[in-house]
Structure 1
Amino acid sequence: MKARFLMTAALTALTIAGWAHAASATTIGVSMDKFDDNFLTSVRNAITDEAKAKGVTLQVEDANDDTGKQISQIQNFIAQKVDAIIVNPVDTSATPKMTQLATAAKIPLVYVNRKPEDKTLPSNVAFVGSDEKVSGTLEAEELMKCLGGRGNIVVMEGQLSNNAALDRTADVEAVVAKNPDVKIVEKQTAEWDRNKAIDLMNNWITTGTKINGVAANNDEMAIGAILAMKQAGVDPKKVCVGGIDATADGLAAVQSGDLFVTVFQNAKGQGKGAVDTALSLIKGDKVPSFVDVPFEKVTKDNFKKYMSN
């Protein structure tokens, strides 16, 4: 009886060890556009947390906003025979090449946060993110309320090589087109960057352009615009400023009244979803080509709900 108990215990221990080994043996390569972006840092942290929770080994690389470097990272992941690859694309127009590389190597690929420009995605490739057709629309509709349906606005765009920037700007333009007394007087890229947004807003203020509202493609640029206004002696509370992402800094600006609206993009949901989708693809499960993580409007009325996110 004792021998049988010891044998059963040994078999159980071996089984558990086998499960642990199988989990730890799963390796996912991750290539992020850049590490110094606040929102993408939240996505990356969520990827790391979910991988740790699932016992997955990660190899996380910073593409430093360089498409060539990112493609090289993907090629290195393939050479190392990782079990799956997660990519936050530097340039979404380069995703067909990335898809081709991963598909040829028969390695599951998950794009996160930025929608790939592939016409269709193979069965072992998926996109985890949010529908950009919603984000700019929510932002612009709230700005129209702030403006009372009239005034001049400027648009700060993200990188023009990125479909999120193009879609968000198109959303704003579509809403403005329905409000004939609102005019877009300036539109230029600040490449998602706070400091570049400060410089851009300073330039617009210096030219004497009358600005009643700012529609920024992300919170970082919106905050840059706010800082520039403060430096110039302009009260941002008297200008309708909108952003997207609901970052910690963005939410703080909503709380202070400097930022009129932001749009919550669930970084944790995207990061967790990317890992879970990659693991499903590794197992051979069928997953949708687009795993939607919905946008949500954030104003002074509901910002507290998002502070913990």
Structure 2
Amino acid sequence: MKRLMLTGLAAMLALSACGADTGGAAAPVPDDGVGCAEAQGKNVGFSQPLADPNFQVLEQVVAKALSKYGATLKPVNANLDPGKQISDIQALLQQQIAVLIANPVDPNATKPVFDQARQRQIPIVALDTEIGGPFFSTIKDDVTQAAMQGAEILKEAVGDGKVAAMYGPPFAELLNWEKAGFDQAAKSHGLNVVDTGVNQEITPAKAKQLTDAWKQKHGADLKGIWTFNDVSAIGAASSVGDGFTPVIVSINGQPDVVPLIEAGKVLATFSVPYEKTGQAMAYAALAAICGRQVPQTIHIPTQRLDKSNVASYKPLQERVNDPFKITLEERDGKTYVKVG
């Protein structure tokens, strides 16, 4: 396994502690292989697709990493409105940003505004999209692999029993990758998927509504449920009871699902280490500013979370201040960030 060690934010400002030597002025930002002097005073735009706790953490992680090199993050949130996202990005372009980080609501809708950024020679770091490039780099959470493992876990748990799958809205490219991974693995493992539904609103209430319908239709014969995120798993788990006890497998690793895993109401979820996603975004943005090349796609691996390891779970918010350290490794022809 080939490994490339790229560590950021080493102990780099030792002189700044010596006010007498510097006259109180900030020490220059060193070229340490991650940041560089050119990053000082630069603005980086970050266009988020929706208001979500995970994106709040991503924002904090990226802002913290950039600030160590004197750069500033300018975040905007589209609230699932493609038109607003386009206006937000246009506003960022007017603010002379050095790099644009973007996770599109609708990647087809943002193609023209991405072209506007490229015309201004502004590098784009994309999050979880392959549409609208070329990009300087794409940071990609490996939900496909998680969904494939989720189907395998369900097969091990229910055998030939009936299973239902709850998918996310199809406008989200990431959720389509996840769905494709689950469907492919479900077919290859012979998982007996008898019903599917879409949680269009991405809420526990809608997930409960879908699960209640399955409960009414299949009753105790439904042995398992796949949910595309933990919000849906929470809603599905609230329908369990009265002889209806399907095992639930999900993805995200949100704090609210931890008690359900401990209580046996959710069999497993896949934790996405968003602190590493954020660090990878900052790493790519700094590379663009500093004139360094990075892999075209950087994958973030997911980690299974179940009763065997849930006791050691660390909430995402508590990972914001984890050291900025990126280690890249090659696996099966893909570049991954090493986690742990």
Indicate the TM-score class for this superposition, using the shorter chain for normalisation.
0.7 to 0.9
CA spacing shift, 1:54–1:226, aligned 2, 3 Å: farther
Alpha-carbon displacement from aligned partner over 1:103-136 (angstroms, at most 9, x marks no partner): 1111121122x22324x524xx211122333121
Which residue identity is paired with 1:153?
A: V
- Does residue 115 of the first structure (1) align with residue 122 of the second (2)? no
- Number of matched residues? 290
List aligned pairs for 1:211-230, cutoff 5 A: 211-229=222-240
Q: Take 1:59 and 1:234, find their aligned partners in 2: how far apart are those partners?
A: 51
Name the stretch that deviates more: 286-295 or 90-99: 90-99
Gaps of 5+ in 1: 1-8
Q: CA deviation at 1:67?
A: 0.9
List aligned pairs for 1:89-238, cutoff 5 A: 89-112=104-127, 114-118=128-132, 121-122=134-135, 125-147=136-158, 149-180=159-190, 182-191=191-200, 192-208=202-218, 210-229=221-240, 233=242, 238=245
State the match for 2:94 in structure 1: 79
Q: CA deviation at 1:251?
A: 2.7
- Does residue 30 of the first structure (1) align with residue 41 of the second (2)? no
State the match for 1:4 in structure 2: none
Q: Take 1:260 and 1:95, find their aligned partners in 2: how far apart are those partners?
A: 38
Q: CA deviation at 1:63?
A: 0.5
Which residue identity is paired with 2:150?
A: E
Whether the aligned pair in 1 keeps the contact of 2:254 and 2:315 (CA below 8 Å) is no
Q: C-alpha root-mean-square deviation of aligned residues, in Å?
A: 2.6
List aligned pairs for 1:234-245, cutoff 5 A: 238-245=245-252
State the match for 1:282 in structure 2: 289
Moved over 4 A (4+): 9-15, 17-24
- With normalisation by structure 1, the TM-score equals 0.84
Whether the aligned pair in 1 keeps the contact of 2:240 and 2:246 (CA below 8 Å) is no
Q: CA deviation at 1:24?
A: 5.4
Q: What secondary structure, in the 3-state scheme, does the structure 2 residue paired with 1:92 have?
A: coil
CA spacing shift, 1:63–1:202, aligned 2, 3 Å: same
Q: Take 2:139 and 2:55, find their aligned partners in 1: how far apart are those partners?
A: 14
Gaps of 5+ in 2: 1-18, 31-36, 317-340
Alpha-carbon displacement from aligned partner over 1:271-298 (angstroms, at most 9, x marks no partner): 1211121111011111111111112222
Whether the aligned pair in 1 keeps the contact of 2:86 and 2:110 (CA below 8 Å) is no
Whether the aligned pair in 2 keeps the contact of 1:155 and 1:169 (CA below 8 Å) is no
Q: Take 1:195 and 1:41, find their aligned partners in 2: how far apart are those partners?
A: 23
Which residue identity is paired with 2:64?
A: D
Q: Take 1:197 and 1:92, find their aligned partners in 2: how far apart are those partners?
A: 26
Q: Take 1:22 and 1:11, find their aligned partners in 2: how far apart are those partners?
A: 23
Identity %: 23
State the match for 2:326 in structure 1: none
CA spacing shift, 1:290–1:300, aligned 2, 3 Å: same
Q: Take 2:95 and 2:106, find their aligned partners in 1: how far apart are those partners?
A: 24
Name the stretch that deviates more: 61-70 or 184-193: 184-193
Alpha-carbon displacement from aligned partner over 1:47-87 (angstroms, at most 9, x marks no partner): 23333444332221110101111111111111111111111
Which residue identity is paired with 1:229?
A: V
Which residue identity is paired with 2:143?
A: E
- Does residue 266 of the first structure (1) align with residue 273 of the second (2)? yes
Q: Take 2:20 and 2:305, find their aligned partners in 1: how far apart are those partners?
A: 55
Q: Take 1:156 and 1:172, find their aligned partners in 2: how far apart are those partners?
A: 11
Which residue identity is paired with 1:121?
A: P
Whether the aligned pair in 2 keeps the contact of 1:254 and 1:261 (CA below 8 Å) is yes
Q: CA deviation at 1:11?
A: 8.8
Q: Take 2:46 and 2:247, find their aligned partners in 1: how far apart are those partners?
A: 38
- With normalisation by structure 2, the TM-score equals 0.77
State the match for 2:263 in structure 1: 256
More helix by share: 1
Alpha-carbon displacement from aligned partner over 1:228-278 (angstroms, at most 9, x marks no partner): 335xx456xx31101111111223322221111111211111112111211
Q: Take 2:46 and 2:243, find their aligned partners in 1: how far apart are those partners?
A: 42
Name the stretch that deviates more: 269-278 or 251-260: 251-260
Which residue identity is paired with 1:142?
A: I
Q: Take 1:179 and 1:259, find their aligned partners in 2: how far apart are those partners?
A: 21
CA spacing shift, 1:172–1:50, aligned 2, 3 Å: same
Q: What secondary structure, in the 3-state scheme, does the structure 2 residue paired with 1:94 have?
A: coil
CA spacing shift, 1:134–1:301, aligned 2, 3 Å: same
Q: Take 2:28 and 2:65, find their aligned partners in 1: how far apart are those partners?
A: 21
Which residue identity is paired with 1:126?
A: S
- Does residue 16 of the first structure (1) align with residue 29 of the second (2)? no
